């Protein structure tokens, strides 16, 4: 999502949850997030669904952006493919994927993390949310003490080479 030339994202750590080492699992989780709902309904105006770290509006941004092959699919098609990918990886109704998402307790994540949790439930994933004060969350991220983590990248200046994280 666009926020002062920034992008909110989630990161995966396969060391604490071996299921996340499987590319199909990571792709399924990413596909299932309803970015349009988060950007256009939950967050205040000016947000755009994002598929990469470089947000729309930043200098030299390619119109249309860089999207995965499924980026323009409707949500129902993405959810169906996500369920299929999870099934290929050995997860389904009889053996659900269980993950923990550690997130910052700042305003935007507190608003959209329950939506991501609901998106995961829609594809049969049991996601537990663990909220932390931002400094504590980032300390845990640096120590790789997370299965899935939310974070944000905000540009210091209007160039994709800027590398400040929030």
Residue 67: per-residue pLDDT: 79
Residue 166: per-residue pLDDT: 44
**pLDDT tens-digit profile of 35-66?**
989 888 887 666 777 776 666 566 666 655 67
> How large is the average pLDDT for residues 102-114?
87
Residue 2: per-residue pLDDT: 35
Residue 53: per-residue pLDDT: 63
**pLDDT tens-digit profile of 4-44?**
566 778 899 999 999 999 999 999 999 999 998 988 888 76
HEC string of the chain?
Answer: CCCCCEEEEEEECCCCCHHHHCHHHHHHHHHHCCHHHHHHHHCCCCCCCCCCCCCCCCCCCCCCCCCCCCCCCCHHHHHHHHHHHHHHCCCECCECCEEEEEEECCHHHHHHHHHHHHHHHHCCCEEEEEEECHHHHHHHHHCCCCCEEEEEEECCCCCCCCCCEC
């Amino acid at each position: 999502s666009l926020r002062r030339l920034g992008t909110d994202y989630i990161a995966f750590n396969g060391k604490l949850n071996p299921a996340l080492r499987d590319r199909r699992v990571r792709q399924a989780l990413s596909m299932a997030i309803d970015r349009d709902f988060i950007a256009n309904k939950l967050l205040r105006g000016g947000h755009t669904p994002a598929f990469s770290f470089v947000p729309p509006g930043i200098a030299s941004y390619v119109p249309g952006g860089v999207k995965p092959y499924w980026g323009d699919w409707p949500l129902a098609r993405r959810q169906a493919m996500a369920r299929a990918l999870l099934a290929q990886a050995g997860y389904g109704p009889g053996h659900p994927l269980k993950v923990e998402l550690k997130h910052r307790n700042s305003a935007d994540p507190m608003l959209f993390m329950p939506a991501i949790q609901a998106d995961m439930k829609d594809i049969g994933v049991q996601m537990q949310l663990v909220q932390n004060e931002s400094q504590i969350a980032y300390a845990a991220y640096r120590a790789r003490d997370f299965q899935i983590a939310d974070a944000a990248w905000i540009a210091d200046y209007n160039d994709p080479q800027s590398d400040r994280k929030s």
